[in-house]
Amino acid sequence: MSEASLAPVRARHPYLLLLPTALVLGVFFIYPVAVALYRSFFAWDLLTDPQFVGTAHYSRLLAQGAVAGLVSRTLAYSLVVVLGAGSLGLLLAVLLNRPGRLYAFVRGSIFSAYIVSWVAVALLWLWILDPDAGVLSRAATGLGLGRIDWLGDPDLALYSLAGVSVWKITGYAMVIFLAGLQDIPKSVLEAAALDGATAWRRFWHVTWPLLRPTTVFVGTTSLIMSFQAFDIVRVMTQGGPIESTTVFVYAIYEQVFMNLRVGRASALTMVFFVFLLVLTAFQLWLWRRFSGRRTMGGS
Amino acid sequence: MLTRRTLSGLIAGALGAAAVGGCNRKRLPPGHISLWFSYGGRNRKVLLELVKQFHREQHAVRVVPTFQGDYFEGLTKLRTGLYVEQAPTVTHVIGEALPYLAEAQVLEPLEDIGSEVIDDLVPALSQAGTFVGGGDRPLVGLPFNRSTPVAYYNKSIFRQLGLRPPKTWAELRSAARSACLRDSERTTRFGFSCPVDWWFWVAMVGQAGGEVVAPNGEVTLGDQAGVRALRLWQTMVHDERSMKPPPGRDYNAWEAANNDFLAGRVAMIWTSTAFLRYLEDNAPFAVGTAPLPSQQRAAVPTGGTFFVVPKGARPEERTAAMTFLRWMMAPAQANAWATRTGYMTVSKRGRAKLAQDGFFAQHPNDRVTVDQLKHARPWPWATQLLRIQREAVQPRLEAAVLARRDAATVLDEARKSLEGV
Alpha carbon distance A188, A283 (integer Å): 29
pLDDT 10s digits, A52-79: 999 999 998 888 788 999 999 999 999 9
Alpha helices in A97-156 (DSSP H): 101-115, 118-128, 135-142
What would the mean pLDDT of B319-327 be, rounded to a whole number?
96
Asked if B148 and B395 count as a contact pair (C-beta separation under 8 A), the reply is: no
A residues 142..161 contacting B (CB < 8 A): 146-147, 149, 151-152, 154
In a domain? residue B135:
yes
Q: How distant is the Cα of B364 from the closest Cα of chain A, in angstroms?
A: 33
A240 closest CB neighbour out of B73, B83, B398: B398
Q: Which residues of A touch B72 (CB under 8 A)?
A: 258
Alpha carbon distance A142, B335 (integer Å): 50
> What band does A1 get if pLDDT is binned at 50, 70 and 90?
very low
Say whether both B177 and B284 belong to one domain: yes
Exposed/middle/buried for residue A193 (C-beta within 10 Å: 0-12, 13-18, 19+): middle
Say whether both B392 and B252 belong to one domain: yes
Give chain B's contact residues with A (Cβ, < 8 Å). Answer: 72-73, 76, 79-80, 82-83, 101, 104, 106, 186, 245, 247-250, 252, 265, 386-387, 390-391, 395, 398-399, 402-403, 420-421
Say whether both B192 and B50 belong to one domain: no
pLDDT 10s digits, A238-280: 898 888 999 999 999 999 888 889 999 999 999 999 998 998 8
Say whether both B250 and B353 belong to one domain: no
Q: What is the CATH number of the domain that holds B320?
A: 3.40.190.10
> What band does B217 get if pLDDT is binned at 50, 70 and 90?
confident
Other Cβ atoms within 10 Å of B215 Cβ, number: 8
Q: For residue B293, which of B236, B351, B359 has the smallest C-alpha distance?
A: B236
- Kindly provide the ipTM of the predicted complex, given to two decimals: 0.77
Alpha carbon distance B372, B380 (integer Å): 20
Q: For residue B318, which of B24, B28, B23, B21 has the smallest C-alpha distance?
A: B28
A154/B391 CB distance under 8 A? no
* Amino acid sitting at position B297: R
What would the mean pLDDT of B215-224 be, rounded to a whole number?
92
Q: Say how many domains are in chain B.
A: 2
Asked if B91 and B310 count as a contact pair (C-beta separation under 8 A), the reply is: yes
Instruction: Work out how many CB contacts closer than 8 A connect A with B.
Output: 66
Which residues, other chains included, contact B371 with Cβ-Cβ below 8 Å and sequence gap of 6+? B291
Q: Where are the domains of chain A?
A: 66-298
Tell whether A195 lies on the interface with B, counting CB pairs under 8 A: no
Alpha carbon distance B365, B276 (integer Å): 8
* Range of lowest pLDDT (A12-21, A58-67, A288-297, B4-13): B4-13
Asked if B242 and B176 count as a contact pair (C-beta separation under 8 A), the reply is: yes
Q: How distant is the Cα of B287 from the closest Cα of chain A, in angstroms?
A: 23
pLDDT 10s digits, B162-210: 999 999 999 999 999 999 998 876 788 999 999 999 999 999 999 999 9
With H, G, I as helix, E, B as strand and everything else as coil, classify residue A245.
coil
In a domain? residue B108:
yes
Q: How distant is the Cα of B102 from the closest Cα of chain A, in angstroms?
A: 11
Say whether both B290 and B202 belong to one domain: yes
B402 closest CB neighbour out of A43, A132, A241: A241
Say whether both B277 and B212 belong to one domain: yes
Which residues, other chains included, contact B319 with Cβ-Cβ below 8 Å and sequence gap of 6+? none
Tell whether A45 lies on the interface with B, counting CB pairs under 8 A: yes
Give, as one character, the DSSP assignment of residue A212: H
B421 closest CB neighbour out of A60, A131, A242: A60
Q: Quick one: what percent of chain A has pLDDT higher than 90?
A: 63
Asked if B364 and B285 count as a contact pair (C-beta separation under 8 A), the reply is: no
* Amino acid sitting at position B310: P
B247/A241 CB distance under 8 A? yes
Q: How distant is the Cα of B246 from the closest Cα of chain A, in angstroms?
A: 8
B186/A147 CB distance under 8 A? yes
Say whether both B57 and B99 belong to one domain: yes
In a domain? residue B165:
yes
pLDDT at A143: 85
Alpha carbon distance B408, B414 (integer Å): 10
Say whether both B352 and B223 belong to one domain: no
Say whether both B194 and B335 belong to one domain: no
Helix orientation angle between A262-298 and A31-39, rounded to the nearest 10 degrees: 140
In a domain? residue B345:
yes
Q: For residue B89, which of B300, B301, B318, B244 has the smallest C-alpha distance?
A: B318
Say whether both B50 and B127 belong to one domain: yes
pLDDT of A5 above 90: no
> What band does A4 get if pLDDT is binned at 50, 70 and 90?
low
Exposed/middle/buried for residue A161 (C-beta within 10 Å: 0-12, 13-18, 19+): buried
Other Cβ atoms within 10 Å of A2 Cβ, number: 6
In a domain? residue B16:
no
pTM recorded for the entire structure? 0.82
pLDDT 10s digits, B48-70: 999 999 999 999 999 999 999 88
Alpha carbon distance A136, A32 (integer Å): 43
What would the mean pLDDT of B316-327 be, rounded to a whole number?
95
In a domain? residue B185:
yes
Q: How distant is the Cα of B218 from the closest Cα of chain A, in angstroms?
A: 21
B398 closest CB neighbour out of A146, A241, A263: A241
B402 closest CB neighbour out of A45, A154, A264: A154
Alpha carbon distance B350, B363 (integer Å): 16
Q: C-alpha angle with apex B353: B352 to B359, nearest 5 degrees? A: 100
Nearest CA in chain A to B404: A242
In a domain? residue B136:
yes
Q: What is the mean pLDDT of chain B?
A: 90
Q: Which residues of A touch B252 (CB under 8 A)?
A: 238
Strand partners, B107: B310
Exposed/middle/buried for residue A198 (C-beta within 10 Å: 0-12, 13-18, 19+): exposed
A47 closest CB neighbour out of B106, B391, B403: B106
Alpha carbon distance B170, B176 (integer Å): 10
Q: Quick one: what percent of chain B has pLDDT higher than 90?
A: 76
Domain that holds residue B101: 26-147+303-373
Say whether both B166 and B290 belong to one domain: yes
DSSP per residue, B209-228: T--SB-TTS-B-TTTHHHHH
A66-298 belongs to which homologous superfamily? MetI-like (1.10.3720.10)
pLDDT 10s digits, A152-188: 889 999 999 999 999 999 999 999 999 999 999 999 9
Say whether both B346 and B296 belong to one domain: no
CA torsion angle for B81, B83, B84, B90 (degrees, to 10)?
30
